[in-house]
Amino acid sequence: MIKWKPEYQGVYYSPNVDNGKILVRSFKWDDSWEDEDLYEAGLVCKTKEEALELAEKMLAVVKEARENVE
């Protein structure tokens, strides 16, 4: 599957989870190493909604992992 990649200076969204709270951050693509790291990790999203959905999946994986450890 080919991942979407923003054009130079294009806006993209990235999910983040902080203390169990879902955050969606927006960035402008400038070909920085930070942009590339997020892209390689699969954390570059075209829309806020897509980033939110990805963050919810991230939380579900963590929750399941915790339940399997306890």
- Report d(CA 62, CA 30) in Å as an integer: 31
Instruction: Break the chain into its structural domains and give their ranges.
Output: 11-69
Per residue in 7-40, pLDDT (tens digit) is: 999 999 999 888 878 899 999 999 999 999 999 9
Structure tokens belonging to residue 43: 């954390």
First to last CA, the chain: 35
What is the reported pLDDT for 70? 63
Instruction: Give the SS3 label for residue 43.
Output: coil
